[in-house]
Structure formats: C-alpha cells, structure tokens
C-alpha cells in the first residue's frame, strides 16, 4: 500500500500540521520549538510515516520520548498510519530549512546559505543548531515541574532569578548538592526559561566532562581558536558537575580563562558540583575563589514532605492513580535521593500497567523488594516507638508513661506488638523499653493487637502500613 509519495504531499502536510499542533499543546511551547519544529515530513508508505531531523541526537531523542505519542496521534488522524520512522538528514548549512516546522514544504537540504562561524549568533535558530556546543535539554526539566520545599527553596529561587533576569544578578551561580537532588533539573530549567524569554540569547549547557572532551579535541585538531571563540560568544554558560575537572590542570586553565572572559563581558555563568567551591579537591585555588565569588546555593537532602510532594506531582504527570498509603510508604522508605524515588514510582506504575492491576501497598513492596532491602537498616524499638507515636499523633513520651487512656494505650500496644514482630528482643526486654512494664503486659498487647486486626480492617491496615514502613 502506498498512501502518498514524495510528489503529492498535500494531505500529509496537513496531517502533520494537525498532529504537531496536538502534541504542541501537550508538551508546551518550549519543547515544541526544540523537538518538533525542526522536523520535516518525508513520506508515508506502507503504513509508516518517515520524518527527517537534522541530527542523530534529535532522532534518538524523538525516538525515546515522542515517537509513541506521535504514532498514536497520527493513527487517530489516519488509521492507516501504524509506525513512525525518524531518519537523519543532515543540513549542509547552519541555517534551518525555511518552514521546517509547518509541514516541510521543502526538502531539508534546500537551505543553501554558506556555513557561518559559530561565533555569529543568529536569532531564532532552533536548538538543533546548537547541538554542536550545547548538550540537549530535557523537556521535563522545567521550573514548573520542580517541586519546591525547604531543602531546595533557596537554590530554586536563585535559579529563577538567573532565568528571568535581564541583567546578571550574580556571577556565577554555583549550585551544589549530593547526587539526584535536582541540580541538573534546575540548570535545564534556567536554560528553558532564558530561551523562552529571549530566543536570541545563546544558552550553552554541558557537563564539565563534555567541556573537557571538546577542549581536548580542539587541542588535538589544533582548533583552539575556534573553541575559544565558540565558548566566549555565549550569553549564558552552564557547566554541570564541575568536580569532574578536578585534577585536570589544562582543562581547568582553559575553563578559568573562558570563565573570566565571560564574566568580563557581563555574561551569566551557572556551575554545579557535588561539593561547595572550597571543598572541591584538586581544584586550583584561583578557580575555587572565582567559583565562590557569586552566589553559592546548596540543595539539602530531601525531607519526608518534599518526597511526598514530588511523588504526588510525578503521579499526576504520569496520570495514574496512586493510593495515598503507597505514596506515604515510598516517601518514608526511599530516602536517598529524588532520582531513586522517581525510579521506584516508575517501576511500581509500570508493573501495575503491565499486569493490568491496581497499585497496592503489597504490589509496591513486591516490585521494590530489592530496592527496599538495600535501603534497610535494622529496626530498633526506638524506631518503632517513634514511628508509631508519629502515626497516631501522640507524644513519644507516652510510650513510656503510665497513662491508660485508650488514645495512648492502643498505640503503645501496637508499638509493643511491632517490637515483638520486628526485633529479636524478648518480652521482658520489650517491657523494659516501655517504661519498665511487665512481660505479661507485652504478651497481652500482642494478643490484643492480633485480635483487633482480625475484626477491624482499618486497624489491620494501619498496623500493616507501619510494619511495612519499618521493615519492608
Ligand atoms: P542532580 O543533577 O543533582 O544529580 P537531577 O537534577 O538529575 O539531580 O535530578 C534527578 C531526578 O530527580 C530528575 O529526574 C529530576 O527531575 C528529579 N528531581 C530532583 N529534584 C526534584 C524536585 N524538587 N522536583 C521534581 N523533580 C525533581
Ligand atoms: Mg546532575
């Protein structure tokens, strides 16, 4: 079956315009400009539409992030379309093909303008053009998808200032934190924002590793003049994970000069690292002091509230219903960093969709078995008392007190029960930890909780939740 071919693409172009329009409203303007606008429609045959993009990187990105959605959307435009293929069609010039985004009226190779030196900046040049210098930006890493809480509010506010400022508010902005806490996310968000506000400004984002790689290549190819020109002509330069060039002297040297040249010209610089400037080992003193002369902002480890907020936001983005108990459980148990938390949620969701069942506490625990175990530590009676007191909203001291009111006695019994279940302590030992109670009191508590669990489903679920949180 041949639907259309190179010669008569009227229908195809119209379809593409509609499909691109739909996806545009789903992914937003910035992502649209970056990823969809540069696409040219080549042909449709045998149920497959072929799209062309200027770089391999763009193709890979489209394949990874948008192709499924494009296929679905196109399939509802034209049911014969069952597959989308993306090919690379390099441009000979640095200019984008005119009208590349509105249906590909002309072939991608039509642009004939002579190559320009990269130092000359062209307003409105799509991101693909800058691939040679800037690493790609993740469309998901925007400010509105960044959940703000106590641990990151300062870094977030500083990043926003840089993204929105016409003039440079502080130079450089130095962000640091442990892994997976949002540095890269914030840097991409700055880049998106700057580009959105003024597409003519050149934003270059890349890892320190890439910076070094390019520098070394320039040295090898005796091309350092171009290298310098390229980097010194950007408006906003962002170097991620700068700790990578620790101990790499000539790269540091080059970076130092680039840095100074940009600061002198009043351009913005954003740097990230895993430590504060003064704690960076193997970094030249003068570079350290340069790095710390702007604004230094660190992102602290996440809190329970922030983790919960992030989970809620991610579940919304994934458009899945995740029970509150499951989110609470994850926020309690996956504490290392946001990346791991996100990964855990994705696994749970993917599993549920695969087996076609709802997400439950049980399935969550099953799916994350290995992860939870590696996060495990030995549970102590103190942990149990703390967690149970928190859960029932009573004072920790009530675990030891003589008060017999049901509102404190019941939680205390639950804690004793869990202590028996989750630790290897004997009944008398447990009794001692609960304000010197007798072992028969503990025994009674264990029986009582067992009995209640059988008759009261909500109570049973509470206990189960606590147990899973504590033990996994
Ligand atoms: P880092 O660069 O500090 O190692 P990343 O920026 O790569 O960390 O963040 C890891 C993952 O966690 C990313 O997917 C990012 O989107 C997500 N993330 C981190 N912090 C937040 C936050 N506050 N809100 C939403 N997502 C976050
Ligand atoms: Mg990072």
Ligand 1 pocket check for 185: Cβ under 6 Å:
yes
CATH 2.130.10.10 fits 381-471, yes or no: no
Cross-strand pairs, 237: 204, 269
Find tokens 């193997």 and name the residue.
282
What are the residue ranges of CATH 3.30.300.180 in the chain?
A: 10-91
Ligand 1 pocket check for 152: Cβ under 6 Å:
yes
What separation in Å is there between the alpha carbon of 159 and the centre of ligand 1? 14
- Give residue 431's pLDDT band: very low, low, confident or very high (50, 70, 90): very high
Q: How far is the C-alpha of 341 from the C-alpha of 330, rounded, in Å?
A: 7
| 101: pLDDT strictly greater than 80 | no
pTM, whole model, 2 decimals?
0.59
More confident residue, 262 or 167: 262
Q: How far is the C-alpha of 248 from the C-alpha of 231, rounded, in Å?
A: 19
Ligand 1 pocket check for 143: Cβ under 6 Å:
no
| 243: pLDDT strictly greater than 90 | yes
Q: What is the CATH number of domain 126-298?
A: 3.40.50.300
459 preceded by a cis bond (ω within 30 of 0): no
| 17: pLDDT strictly greater than 90 | no
pLDDT at 182: 97
Q: How far is the C-alpha of 199 from the C-alpha of 123, rounded, in Å?
A: 6
Query: Ligand 1: which atom is nearest the Cα of residue 179?
Result: 4
- Give residue 102's pLDDT band: very low, low, confident or very high (50, 70, 90): very low
* Structure tokens that stand for 316 in this block: 């919304």
Q: How far is the C-alpha of 166 from the C-alpha of 74, rounded, in Å?
A: 40
Ligand 1 pocket check for 182: Cβ under 6 Å:
yes
- Who's near 174: CB < 8 A, 6+ residues apart? 270, 271, 272, 273, 276, 277, 291, 292, 294, 295, 296, 297
What separation in Å is there between the alpha carbon of 471 and the centre of ligand 1? 27
Question: Which residue's alpha carbon is at the smallest distance from atom 23 of ligand 1?
Answer: 147
What separation in Å is there between the alpha carbon of 411 and the centre of ligand 1? 37
pLDDT at 379: 82
What separation in Å is there between the alpha carbon of 260 and the centre of ligand 1? 29
Ligand 1 pocket check for 339: Cβ under 6 Å:
yes
pLDDT at 124: 39
Over residues 143-160, mean pLDDT = 96
What are the residue ranges of CATH 1.10.8.60 in the chain?
A: 304-374
CATH topology of domain 10-91: GMP Synthetase; Chain A, domain 3 (3.30.300)
The CATH class for the domain spanning 304-374 reads mainly alpha
Q: How far is the C-alpha of 299 from the C-alpha of 155, rounded, in Å?
A: 6
What separation in Å is there between the alpha carbon of 121 and the centre of ligand 1? 31
- Residues bordering ligand 2, an ion, CB closer than 5 Å: 183-184
| 91: pLDDT strictly greater than 80 | no
Surface-to-core class of residue 455, CB atoms within 10 Å of its CB (0-12 exposed, 13-18 middle, 19+ buried): exposed
Ligand 1 probe mutation, 136, 152, 175, 180, most atoms within 8 A of CB: 180
Q: Could you tell me what percent of the chain has a pLDDT over 90?
A: 54
| 375: pLDDT strictly greater than 70 | no
What separation in Å is there between the alpha carbon of 141 and the centre of ligand 1? 8
pLDDT at 47: 84
Ligand 1 probe mutation, 275, 339, 343, most atoms within 8 A of CB: 339
Question: Which residue's alpha carbon is at the smallest distance from atom 9 of ligand 1?
Answer: 182
- Who's near 150: CB < 8 A, 6+ residues apart? 300, 303, 305, 306
What are the residue ranges of CATH 1.10.1750.10 in the chain?
A: 381-471
pLDDT at 122: 35
Q: 236 — phi, psi (to 5°)? A: -130, 120
What are the residue ranges of CATH 3.40.50.300 in the chain?
A: 126-298
| 155: pLDDT strictly greater than 70 | yes
- Give residue 114's pLDDT band: very low, low, confident or very high (50, 70, 90): very low
């Amino acid at each position: 079956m041949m639907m259309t071919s190179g010669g008569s693409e009227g229908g195809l172009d119209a379809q593409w315009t509609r499909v691109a329009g739909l996806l545009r409203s789903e992914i937003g303007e910035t992502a649209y400009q970056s990823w969809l606008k540069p696409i040219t429609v080549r042909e449709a045959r045998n149920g497959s539409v072929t799209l062309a993009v200027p770089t391999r990187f763009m193709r890979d990105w489209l394949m990874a992030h948008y192709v499924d959605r494009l296929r679905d959307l196109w399939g509802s435009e034209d049911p014969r379309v069952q597959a989308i293929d993306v090919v690379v069609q390099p441009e000979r010039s640095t200019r984008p093909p005119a009208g590349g985004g509105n249906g590909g009226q002309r072939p991608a190779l039509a642009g004939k303008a002579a190559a320009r030196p990269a130092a000359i900046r062209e307003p409105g040049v799509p991101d693909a053009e800058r691939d040679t210098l800037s690493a790609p930006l993740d469309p998901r890493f925007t400010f509105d998808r960044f959940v703000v809480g106590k641990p990151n509010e300062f870094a977030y506010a500083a990043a926003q200032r840089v993204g929105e400022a016409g003039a440079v508010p502080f130079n450089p902005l130095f962000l640091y934190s442990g892994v997976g806490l949002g540095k890269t996310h914030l840097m991409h968000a700055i880049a998106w924002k700057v580009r959105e506000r003024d597409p003519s400004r050149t934003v270059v984002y890349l890892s320190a590793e890439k910076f070094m790689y390019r520098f070394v290549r320039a040295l090898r190819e005796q091309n350092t003049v171009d290298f310098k020109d390229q980097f010194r002509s950007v408006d906003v330069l962002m170097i991620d994970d700068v700790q990578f060039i620790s101990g790499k002297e000539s790269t540091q040297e080059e970076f130092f000069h680039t840095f100074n040249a940009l600061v002198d010209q009043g351009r913005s610089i954003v740097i990230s690292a895993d430590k504060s400037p003064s704690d960076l080992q193997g970094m030249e003193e003068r570079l350290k002091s340069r790095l710390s002369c702007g604004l230094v902002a660190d992102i602290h480890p996440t809190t329970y509230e922030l983790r919960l907020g992030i989970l809620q936001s991610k579940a919304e983005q994934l458009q899945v219903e995740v029970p509150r108990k499951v989110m609470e459980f994850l926020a309690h148990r996956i504490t290392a960093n946001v990346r791991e938390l996100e990964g855990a949620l994705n696994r749970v969701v993917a599993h549920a969709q695969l087996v076609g069942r709802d997400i439950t506490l049980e399935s969550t625990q099953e799916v994350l078995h290995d992860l939870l175990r590696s996060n495990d530590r030995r549970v102590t009676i103190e942990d149990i008392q703390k967690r149970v007191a928190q859960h029932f909203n009573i004072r920790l001291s009530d675990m030891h007190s003589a008060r017999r009111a049901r509102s404190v006695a019941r939680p205390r019994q639950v804690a004793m029960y869990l202590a028996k279940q989750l630790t290897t302590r004997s009944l008398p030992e447990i009794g001692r930890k609960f304000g010197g109670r007798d072992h028969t009191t503990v025994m009674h508590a264990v029986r009582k909780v067992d009995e209640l669990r059988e008759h009261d489903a909500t109570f049973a679920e509470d206990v189960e939740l606590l147990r899973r949180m504590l033990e996994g």
